[in-house]
């Protein structure tokens, strides 16, 4: 089975930066488009950004454009989420996901367990 494990979350101040990592095992990482999502208690899971298998195509939610960057290292089976200029509204559990197409509305096949990001004002 395919497993995804996120790491790098924590408590930071507004304006700070964090980098999340997601390591994929049990499958061929280069076959998957990868995406990041986030969820706040009581709200629906929201798309953050996504990257194609080769890294040539990316998609970003408007709320994070210019602040967040998605990247991948196929040699390390890892996708990253670099978050800069963090805001309190970015507080959420962040999940990585693997699928066939790097699209906000595509059904992703595999999900990690999430990592908490908390931004204080």
pLDDT tens for the chain, 121 residues: list them.
899 999 999 999 999 999 999 999 999 999 999 999 999 999 999 999 999 999 999 999 999 999 999 999 999 999 999 999 999 999 999 999 999 998 888 789 999 999 999 999 9
pLDDT at 104: 84
Please give the pLDDT value at position 9: 98
Let me know: does 26 contact 2? Beta carbons within 8 Å: yes
């Amino acid at each position: 089975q395919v497993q995804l494990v996120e790491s790098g979350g924590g408590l930071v101040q507004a304006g700070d930066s964090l980098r999340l990592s997601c390591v994929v095992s049990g499958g061929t990482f280069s076959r998957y488009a990868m995406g990041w999502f986030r969820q706040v208690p009581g709200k629906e899971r929201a798309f953050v950004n996504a990257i194609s298998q080769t890294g040539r195509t990316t998609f970003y939610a408007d709320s994070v454009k210019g602040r967040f960057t998605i990247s991948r290292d196929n040699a390390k089976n890892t996708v990253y989420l670099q978050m800069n200029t963090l805001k309190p509204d970015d507080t959420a559990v962040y999940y990585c996901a693997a699928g066939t197409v790097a699209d906000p509305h595509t059904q992703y096949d595999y999900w990690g367990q999430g990592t908490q990001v908390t931004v204080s004002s």
